[in-house]
Amino acid sequence: MTRTEGIVQSVERHGETGDIAAITLANGSRVAGDFFIDCTGFRSLLLGGELGVGYEDWSRWLPCDRALAVPSERLPTLVPYTRATAKAAGWQWRIPLQHRTGNGHVYSSGFSSDDAAAETLLKGLETKALGDLRPIRFTTGRRESFWAHNCAAIGLSSGFLEPLESTSIHLIQSHVSRLIQLFPRSGDACAMRDEYNRRCTAEFAQIRDFLILHYHRTDREDTEFWRYCKHMAVPDSLTHKLELFAASGRVGRDADDLFRDASWVQVMLGQGIMPGDYDPMADQIAPEQLAEFLANLRTLMGRAVAGLPTHEDYLRQHCLANEGLLAA
Protein backbone atom coordinates (compact mmCIF):
# COMPACT_ATOMS: atom_id res chain seq x y z
CA MET A 1 0.00 0.00 0.00
CA THR A 2 1.26 3.46 -0.91
CA ARG A 3 0.12 6.58 0.95
CA THR A 4 0.19 9.76 -1.13
CA GLU A 5 -0.80 13.08 0.41
CA GLY A 6 -1.70 16.19 -1.54
CA ILE A 7 -4.35 18.67 -2.60
CA VAL A 8 -6.67 17.63 -5.44
CA GLN A 9 -6.02 19.89 -8.40
CA SER A 10 -8.05 18.24 -11.17
CA VAL A 11 -9.98 15.09 -12.01
CA GLU A 12 -9.65 12.97 -15.15
CA ARG A 13 -12.75 11.10 -16.40
CA HIS A 14 -13.27 8.22 -18.84
CA GLY A 15 -14.77 9.60 -22.03
CA GLU A 16 -17.33 6.82 -22.48
CA THR A 17 -18.37 5.79 -18.96
CA GLY A 18 -17.86 9.06 -17.11
CA ASP A 19 -16.04 7.17 -14.36
CA ILE A 20 -13.12 8.81 -12.60
CA ALA A 21 -9.88 7.61 -14.14
CA ALA A 22 -7.37 9.58 -12.10
CA ILE A 23 -6.83 12.65 -9.96
CA THR A 24 -3.97 15.10 -10.30
CA LEU A 25 -2.56 16.66 -7.16
CA ALA A 26 -1.28 20.18 -6.73
CA ASN A 27 2.32 18.91 -6.90
CA GLY A 28 1.67 17.48 -10.37
CA SER A 29 1.53 13.80 -9.39
CA ARG A 30 -1.19 11.70 -11.02
CA VAL A 31 -3.06 9.05 -9.01
CA ALA A 32 -4.99 6.55 -11.15
CA GLY A 33 -7.46 4.00 -9.83
CA ASP A 34 -10.44 1.75 -10.49
CA PHE A 35 -12.46 3.05 -7.52
CA PHE A 36 -12.30 6.28 -5.50
CA ILE A 37 -13.57 7.13 -2.01
CA ASP A 38 -14.34 10.81 -1.54
CA CYS A 39 -13.17 11.94 1.91
CA THR A 40 -12.78 15.63 1.05
CA GLY A 41 -15.15 16.88 3.75
CA PHE A 42 -17.97 19.36 3.17
CA ARG A 43 -16.51 20.29 -0.23
CA SER A 44 -17.13 16.77 -1.63
CA LEU A 45 -14.70 17.47 -4.47
CA LEU A 46 -15.23 14.16 -6.26
CA LEU A 47 -18.84 13.06 -5.73
CA GLY A 48 -20.38 16.51 -5.44
CA GLY A 49 -17.95 18.68 -7.37
CA GLU A 50 -16.78 16.51 -10.25
CA LEU A 51 -19.64 14.00 -10.59
CA GLY A 52 -22.30 16.63 -9.87
CA VAL A 53 -24.29 14.69 -7.25
CA GLY A 54 -26.57 17.22 -5.60
CA TYR A 55 -27.13 17.91 -1.91
CA GLU A 56 -30.48 17.37 -0.20
CA ASP A 57 -30.94 20.21 2.29
CA TRP A 58 -32.78 19.26 5.51
CA SER A 59 -32.53 22.64 7.23
CA ARG A 60 -36.33 23.09 7.08
CA TRP A 61 -36.54 20.29 9.67
CA LEU A 62 -33.20 20.82 11.41
CA PRO A 63 -32.65 24.59 11.24
CA CYS A 64 -29.46 24.73 13.35
CA ASP A 65 -26.66 25.55 10.90
CA ARG A 66 -23.84 26.99 13.00
CA ALA A 67 -21.82 26.15 16.08
CA LEU A 68 -19.33 27.86 18.34
CA ALA A 69 -16.85 25.77 20.33
CA VAL A 70 -14.54 26.73 23.19
CA PRO A 71 -12.58 24.80 25.82
CA SER A 72 -12.76 25.79 29.47
CA GLU A 73 -11.08 24.72 32.69
CA ARG A 74 -11.94 21.27 34.01
CA LEU A 75 -14.96 20.86 36.24
CA PRO A 76 -14.31 20.75 40.01
CA THR A 77 -16.05 17.36 40.12
CA LEU A 78 -16.00 15.17 37.03
CA VAL A 79 -19.27 13.57 35.99
CA PRO A 80 -19.58 10.56 33.64
CA TYR A 81 -21.88 12.12 31.07
CA THR A 82 -22.20 14.83 28.46
CA ARG A 83 -24.90 17.43 29.05
CA ALA A 84 -26.99 19.11 26.36
CA THR A 85 -28.97 22.19 27.44
CA ALA A 86 -31.70 23.77 25.33
CA LYS A 87 -31.16 27.45 24.57
CA ALA A 88 -33.25 30.16 22.93
CA ALA A 89 -32.18 29.29 19.38
CA GLY A 90 -30.50 25.89 19.74
CA TRP A 91 -28.61 23.99 22.42
CA GLN A 92 -25.32 23.99 24.31
CA TRP A 93 -23.04 21.03 25.03
CA ARG A 94 -20.74 20.38 27.97
CA ILE A 95 -18.25 17.49 27.81
CA PRO A 96 -16.16 16.97 30.97
CA LEU A 97 -12.61 15.74 30.31
CA GLN A 98 -9.73 15.07 32.67
CA HIS A 99 -7.72 18.11 31.63
CA ARG A 100 -10.40 20.51 30.38
CA THR A 101 -14.10 20.87 29.59
CA GLY A 102 -15.38 20.87 26.03
CA ASN A 103 -18.17 23.38 25.38
CA GLY A 104 -20.14 24.47 22.37
CA HIS A 105 -23.34 26.13 21.23
CA VAL A 106 -25.24 24.80 18.20
CA TYR A 107 -27.73 27.35 16.90
CA SER A 108 -29.74 28.57 13.93
CA SER A 109 -28.49 31.67 12.16
CA GLY A 110 -32.09 32.31 11.11
CA PHE A 111 -33.11 32.84 14.72
CA SER A 112 -29.94 34.18 16.38
CA SER A 113 -27.06 36.46 15.48
CA ASP A 114 -23.50 35.21 15.88
CA ASP A 115 -22.89 37.76 18.64
CA ALA A 116 -25.96 36.65 20.58
CA ALA A 117 -24.92 33.00 20.20
CA ALA A 118 -21.43 33.80 21.50
CA GLU A 119 -22.89 35.61 24.50
CA THR A 120 -25.16 32.64 25.21
CA LEU A 121 -22.24 30.22 25.10
CA LEU A 122 -19.96 32.25 27.33
CA LYS A 123 -22.69 32.91 29.89
CA GLY A 124 -23.38 29.19 30.02
CA LEU A 125 -19.81 28.18 30.86
CA GLU A 126 -19.30 26.75 34.33
CA THR A 127 -15.53 27.25 34.31
CA LYS A 128 -13.16 29.84 32.84
CA ALA A 129 -12.70 29.80 29.05
CA LEU A 130 -9.26 28.67 27.88
CA GLY A 131 -9.28 30.08 24.35
CA ASP A 132 -11.16 31.93 21.65
CA LEU A 133 -14.47 30.81 20.23
CA ARG A 134 -14.13 28.63 17.14
CA PRO A 135 -16.96 29.04 14.57
CA ILE A 136 -18.31 26.13 12.51
CA ARG A 137 -20.86 26.38 9.71
CA PHE A 138 -22.83 23.51 8.20
CA THR A 139 -26.04 22.56 6.43
CA THR A 140 -27.74 19.44 7.72
CA GLY A 141 -28.57 17.03 4.90
CA ARG A 142 -27.04 14.46 2.58
CA ARG A 143 -25.87 13.84 -0.96
CA GLU A 144 -28.65 12.68 -3.29
CA SER A 145 -26.56 9.55 -3.85
CA PHE A 146 -23.73 8.18 -1.73
CA TRP A 147 -22.14 6.19 -4.55
CA ALA A 148 -22.10 7.35 -8.19
CA HIS A 149 -20.06 5.90 -11.05
CA ASN A 150 -16.93 4.49 -9.41
CA CYS A 151 -16.87 6.86 -6.43
CA ALA A 152 -18.39 6.59 -2.96
CA ALA A 153 -18.43 9.49 -0.50
CA ILE A 154 -17.81 8.67 3.15
CA GLY A 155 -17.81 11.10 6.07
CA LEU A 156 -18.65 14.77 5.67
CA SER A 157 -18.48 14.49 1.88
CA SER A 158 -21.59 12.27 2.02
CA GLY A 159 -23.65 14.50 4.29
CA PHE A 160 -23.89 15.89 7.80
CA LEU A 161 -26.34 15.50 10.65
CA GLU A 162 -26.02 18.08 13.39
CA PRO A 163 -24.17 16.82 16.47
CA LEU A 164 -27.04 16.50 18.96
CA GLU A 165 -26.57 12.71 18.92
CA SER A 166 -22.93 12.69 17.72
CA THR A 167 -23.52 10.24 14.86
CA SER A 168 -20.72 11.24 12.46
CA ILE A 169 -18.22 8.56 13.54
CA HIS A 170 -20.92 5.88 13.49
CA LEU A 171 -21.90 6.84 9.94
CA ILE A 172 -18.28 6.62 8.78
CA GLN A 173 -17.96 3.15 10.30
CA SER A 174 -21.26 1.86 8.96
CA HIS A 175 -20.59 3.18 5.45
CA VAL A 176 -17.12 1.62 5.38
CA SER A 177 -18.55 -1.72 6.52
CA ARG A 178 -21.37 -1.51 4.00
CA LEU A 179 -18.99 -0.68 1.18
CA ILE A 180 -16.83 -3.69 2.09
CA GLN A 181 -19.92 -5.92 2.05
CA LEU A 182 -21.09 -4.67 -1.33
CA PHE A 183 -17.78 -3.92 -3.05
CA PRO A 184 -17.83 -5.28 -6.62
CA ARG A 185 -15.18 -7.80 -7.62
CA SER A 186 -15.47 -6.99 -11.31
CA GLY A 187 -17.94 -6.10 -14.03
CA ASP A 188 -21.19 -4.20 -13.65
CA ALA A 189 -21.63 -2.72 -10.16
CA CYS A 190 -25.14 -1.29 -10.66
CA ALA A 191 -26.93 -3.73 -8.33
CA MET A 192 -24.38 -3.29 -5.53
CA ARG A 193 -24.38 0.48 -5.99
CA ASP A 194 -28.18 0.65 -5.81
CA GLU A 195 -28.27 -1.44 -2.64
CA TYR A 196 -25.54 0.67 -1.03
CA ASN A 197 -27.43 3.87 -1.83
CA ARG A 198 -30.73 2.42 -0.61
CA ARG A 199 -29.35 1.38 2.76
CA CYS A 200 -27.31 4.56 3.32
CA THR A 201 -30.34 6.69 2.41
CA ALA A 202 -32.52 4.81 4.89
CA GLU A 203 -29.90 5.10 7.64
CA PHE A 204 -29.54 8.86 7.19
CA ALA A 205 -33.33 9.31 7.21
CA GLN A 206 -33.75 7.30 10.42
CA ILE A 207 -31.15 9.36 12.26
CA ARG A 208 -32.64 12.56 10.83
CA ASP A 209 -36.08 11.66 12.19
CA PHE A 210 -34.66 10.87 15.64
CA LEU A 211 -33.01 14.29 15.74
CA ILE A 212 -36.15 16.08 14.55
CA LEU A 213 -38.13 14.40 17.33
CA HIS A 214 -36.02 16.19 19.97
CA TYR A 215 -36.99 19.58 18.55
CA HIS A 216 -40.51 19.03 17.26
CA ARG A 217 -42.22 17.45 20.25
CA THR A 218 -41.76 20.32 22.65
CA ASP A 219 -43.99 22.37 24.89
CA ARG A 220 -41.73 25.40 24.49
CA GLU A 221 -43.11 28.41 22.66
CA ASP A 222 -41.14 31.11 24.46
CA THR A 223 -38.89 31.94 21.47
CA GLU A 224 -39.37 32.15 17.72
CA PHE A 225 -37.02 29.21 17.20
CA TRP A 226 -38.98 26.82 19.44
CA ARG A 227 -42.32 27.99 18.05
CA TYR A 228 -41.05 27.15 14.57
CA CYS A 229 -39.81 23.70 15.64
CA LYS A 230 -43.05 22.86 17.43
CA HIS A 231 -45.35 23.77 14.54
CA MET A 232 -43.23 22.76 11.52
CA ALA A 233 -44.34 19.96 9.20
CA VAL A 234 -42.16 16.86 9.68
CA PRO A 235 -41.32 13.95 7.35
CA ASP A 236 -44.02 11.33 6.85
CA SER A 237 -41.69 8.67 8.23
CA LEU A 238 -41.50 10.48 11.59
CA THR A 239 -45.23 11.17 11.61
CA HIS A 240 -45.83 7.43 11.24
CA LYS A 241 -43.55 6.64 14.19
CA LEU A 242 -45.26 9.26 16.35
CA GLU A 243 -48.73 7.98 15.50
CA LEU A 244 -47.73 4.34 16.01
CA PHE A 245 -46.20 5.01 19.42
CA ALA A 246 -49.08 7.22 20.55
CA ALA A 247 -51.57 4.52 19.59
CA SER A 248 -49.81 1.39 20.83
CA GLY A 249 -46.48 2.09 22.53
CA ARG A 250 -44.68 0.43 19.62
CA VAL A 251 -41.69 2.05 17.90
CA GLY A 252 -41.55 0.34 14.50
CA ARG A 253 -37.80 0.73 13.99
CA ASP A 254 -35.98 -0.78 11.02
CA ALA A 255 -33.09 -3.25 11.12
CA ASP A 256 -30.43 -0.68 10.18
CA ASP A 257 -31.72 1.97 12.60
CA LEU A 258 -28.85 3.15 14.82
CA PHE A 259 -31.18 3.96 17.71
CA ARG A 260 -32.78 1.02 19.51
CA ASP A 261 -36.32 0.81 20.88
CA ALA A 262 -35.13 2.05 24.29
CA SER A 263 -33.73 5.25 22.75
CA TRP A 264 -36.94 6.04 20.88
CA VAL A 265 -39.07 5.24 23.93
CA GLN A 266 -36.99 7.46 26.21
CA VAL A 267 -37.31 10.47 23.92
CA MET A 268 -40.98 9.85 23.14
CA LEU A 269 -41.89 9.60 26.83
CA GLY A 270 -39.50 12.40 27.75
CA GLN A 271 -41.23 14.67 25.25
CA GLY A 272 -44.60 13.91 26.76
CA ILE A 273 -45.97 11.34 24.30
CA MET A 274 -47.94 8.79 26.34
CA PRO A 275 -49.23 5.71 24.50
CA GLY A 276 -52.97 5.23 24.45
CA ASP A 277 -52.60 1.43 24.55
CA TYR A 278 -49.98 -1.26 25.12
CA ASP A 279 -48.80 -4.59 23.73
CA PRO A 280 -51.40 -7.26 24.61
CA MET A 281 -48.57 -9.69 25.46
CA ALA A 282 -48.12 -7.67 28.65
CA ASP A 283 -51.42 -9.13 29.90
CA GLN A 284 -49.80 -12.55 30.05
CA ILE A 285 -47.84 -11.47 33.14
CA ALA A 286 -49.78 -11.37 36.41
CA PRO A 287 -49.50 -8.03 38.28
CA GLU A 288 -47.93 -9.68 41.32
CA GLN A 289 -45.31 -11.41 39.11
CA LEU A 290 -44.42 -8.11 37.50
CA ALA A 291 -44.15 -6.37 40.89
CA GLU A 292 -41.87 -9.13 42.18
CA PHE A 293 -39.70 -8.99 39.06
CA LEU A 294 -39.27 -5.21 39.28
CA ALA A 295 -38.50 -5.38 43.01
CA ASN A 296 -35.81 -8.01 42.39
CA LEU A 297 -34.39 -5.91 39.58
CA ARG A 298 -34.16 -2.85 41.83
CA THR A 299 -32.39 -4.90 44.48
CA LEU A 300 -29.84 -6.28 42.00
CA MET A 301 -29.18 -2.83 40.57
CA GLY A 302 -28.75 -1.35 44.04
CA ARG A 303 -26.22 -4.01 45.00
CA ALA A 304 -24.27 -3.51 41.77
CA VAL A 305 -24.13 0.27 42.16
CA ALA A 306 -23.13 0.07 45.83
CA GLY A 307 -19.93 -1.74 44.91
CA LEU A 308 -18.86 0.62 42.15
CA PRO A 309 -16.29 3.43 42.56
CA THR A 310 -17.13 7.01 41.71
CA HIS A 311 -16.24 8.26 38.24
CA GLU A 312 -13.22 10.18 39.50
CA ASP A 313 -12.02 7.26 41.59
CA TYR A 314 -12.18 4.96 38.57
CA LEU A 315 -10.18 7.41 36.45
CA ARG A 316 -7.66 7.82 39.22
CA GLN A 317 -7.19 4.07 39.50
CA HIS A 318 -7.24 2.97 35.87
CA CYS A 319 -6.81 5.69 33.24
CA LEU A 320 -5.40 8.89 34.65
CA ALA A 321 -4.32 11.24 31.86
CA ASN A 322 -2.03 13.29 34.07
CA GLU A 323 -0.97 12.56 37.63
CA GLY A 324 -1.60 16.13 38.73
CA LEU A 325 -5.09 16.55 37.32
CA LEU A 326 -7.12 14.59 39.81
CA ALA A 327 -5.16 15.28 42.96
CA ALA A 328 -7.30 15.03 46.05
Asked if residue 185 is part of any domain, the answer here is: no
For the stretch 19-34, what's the b/e string if a residue is b when 16 or more beta carbons lie within 10 angstroms of its beta carbon?
Answer: bbbebeeeeeeeeeee
pLDDT at 282: 87
**Where among 109, 137, 165 does a domain terminate?**
137
Residue 173 amino acid letter: Q
Instruction: Give tens-digit pLDDT for 35-84.
Output: 999 999 999 999 999 999 999 999 999 999 999 999 999 999 999 999 99
Question: Can you say whether the dihedral through the CA atoms of 280, 286, 287, 291 is positive or negative?
Answer: negative
Range of the domain at 229: 209-270
Asked if residue 145 is part of any domain, the answer here is: no
Helices and strands (H, E) in the chain, number of each type: 8, 14
Asked if residue 234 is part of any domain, the answer here is: yes
Whole-model pTM: value is 0.91
Asked if residue 309 is part of any domain, the answer here is: yes
Asked if residue 328 is part of any domain, the answer here is: no
Asked if residue 87 is part of any domain, the answer here is: yes
Instruction: Give tens-digit pLDDT for 208-260.
Output: 999 999 999 999 999 999 999 999 999 999 999 999 999 999 998 887 889 99
Instruction: Give tens-digit pLDDT for 118-135.
Output: 999 999 999 999 999 999
The tally of domains found in the chain comes to 3
